[in-house]
Structure 1
Amino acid sequence: MAFYDLSKAEREQLVVKIGAQLEKAVITGNSKTCLRHFNDPDTYIRKTAYLAVGRLYIAKPELQAAVLKTLEQLLPHNSFYVRQTVVNAAGEIGKNDFKAVQSFFDNGLFDAHHAVRNAVIGSVKKMGEVNPAPVLQWAKSYLHHEDKEIRREICHGIELRGRKYPQDILPLLKELEFDQTARVRNTLVHVLGQIAYKKGCLAIVLAHLKTWKNTALVADALEEIIDVHDRYKDFAVLTQDEARAMVAAYFKL
């Protein structure tokens, strides 16, 4: 029976059960129990598992080394579900202790399966939101990687931090302004739009864009920013007309 086929009370009981099983598995060094939950085809069972591992790492410092050892043992598994769940568990840990799990992201970025690489992006987003300094420093080291997909994934991964604190990621985004790869360029424009429509963000983004040298890219970004204020009008602080007027004022259009 799938996780959300259960009643709320049954789901709560299952969360506790899985947490206890994973803790016992970490203590005893029996990774088979972890494997069963990490490889479950139900997304929500896997999520329950990686959240439980993250909580365990924070709640019981004496088990931290054992938790990391368990994740390291599971990372090379041939199932992408397992590798994906390992990365997501590392993301939960990295919210507080990125250094301890950095190697999981160094590996996950180059995984053969897109689901694992997407788990890296998702983890960078959630870690960067609450533990930005080490995460952004790590991300910066990949901004000029020879693999265009790595550059694109890093650009996408740092987006969430920028929705509240665009000033934190704009210098990193600027390093990609002359990237010639269409997928990287399109992601860059998308991210600039996504970090511009929240409260207090548009002025910061526009002021920074005025320092960029790639005028064609800036023009595309401004168009995206204006468009985003219509597409996300239910969430944007400014109306599209107000955003258009601010863009015109900053760039004297």
Structure 2
Amino acid sequence: MAFYDLSKPERDALVAEINQEIAQDLSQAVTERIVRCFSDDDTYVRKTGYLAIGKIFYAQPQLQNTIFSVLKVLMTSEDELIRQTVINAAGEIGKFHFDKIQVFMDTGLFDKHHRVRNAVIGSIKKMGEKNPEPVLTWSKSYLEHPDKEIRREICHGIELRGRTHPQDVLPLLKVLEFDETRRVSETLVHVLGQIAYKNGCLKTVVEHLNTWKNKELVQHALDEIVDVHNRYKKFAVLSQDEAIAYIDKHYKY
């Protein structure tokens, strides 16, 4: 039975059981139950597993070395679900200790399976929200990587930090303004749209876009920003008309 097919008390009991089993495996330096959880077909079971790793890491410091040893071994698994869950577990630790798990992100970014690479993107988002400085420094080092997918994934990964602190990510995004790969430039335009509709963000984005040289890409980004203010009108601070008026007044064509 799937996680959300269970009743709330049954889900709570399952979460408690998974937490206990993972803690027991770590205390005994074995991985049988961790592997079973990390390879489960149910996304929410796997999520419970990687959240448990994060909780145990902070609650039981004596198990930290064991956690790293287990994650390193599991990262070599042939099962992409296990590798994906390892990355997500490392991301929980990286919210406060990025230096300790950077190697997992370096490895996962080049994984052969999109699930694992997507887990890196998700981890960058959650780590960047809590621990931006080292995460953004690491991200910057990949923005000019020869592999277009690496550039695209990093661009996507720093989006969440940009929604609340656009000034932190705009200088990084600018590195991609002349990227010749359509898939990268489309992601860049998407991210610019996503970071422009929250409180105070449009001003910061427009000011920064005034310094960009690729006017064609900027125009695509402004069109996306205007469209986002309509698509997300329930969440946007400004109406679409107000966004258009602000851009017309402050963007230097």
TM range (shorter): over 0.9
Aligned residue runs from structure 1 range 186-225, under 5 A = 186-225=186-225
CA distance in 2, matches of 1:213, 1:43: 43
CA distance in 2, matches of 1:208, 1:121: 24
Q: Which residue of 1 aligns with 2:20?
A: 20
Q: Which residue of 1 aligns with 2:130?
A: 130
CA distance in 2, matches of 1:12, 1:231: 36
Q: Which residue of 1 aligns with 2:238?
A: 238
Q: Which residue of 2 aligns with 1:104?
A: 104
- Aligned identity (percent) is 61
Q: CA deviation at 1:252?
A: 4.9
CA distance in 2, matches of 1:135, 1:242: 34
CA distance in 1, matches of 2:32, 2:97: 26
Instruction: For 1:225, give the aligned amino acid.
Output: I
Instruction: For 1:2, give the aligned amino acid.
Output: A
Q: Which residue of 1 aligns with 2:8?
A: 8
* Cα deviation 1:15-66 (Å, max 9, x = unaligned): 1111111011112111111100000011111010000001111111121111
Gaps of 5+ in 1: none
* Cα deviation 1:132-177 (Å, max 9, x = unaligned): 0110011001000000000000000000000000000000000111
Instruction: For 1:125, give the aligned amino acid.
Output: K
Normalising by structure 2, what TM-score? 0.98
CA distance in 2, matches of 1:140, 1:119: 18
CA distance in 1, matches of 2:3, 2:239: 41
What count of residue pairs does the alignment treat as equivalent? 253
Q: CA deviation at 1:251?
A: 2.1
Instruction: For 1:23, give the aligned amino acid.
Output: A
Aligned residue runs from structure 1 range 1-253, under 5 A = 1-252=1-252
CA distance in 1, matches of 2:122, 2:52: 17
SS of the residue corresponding to residue 112 of structure 2 reads coil
Instruction: For 2:99, give the aligned amino acid.
Output: K
CA distance in 2, matches of 1:230, 1:153: 26
CA distance in 1, matches of 2:164, 2:63: 34
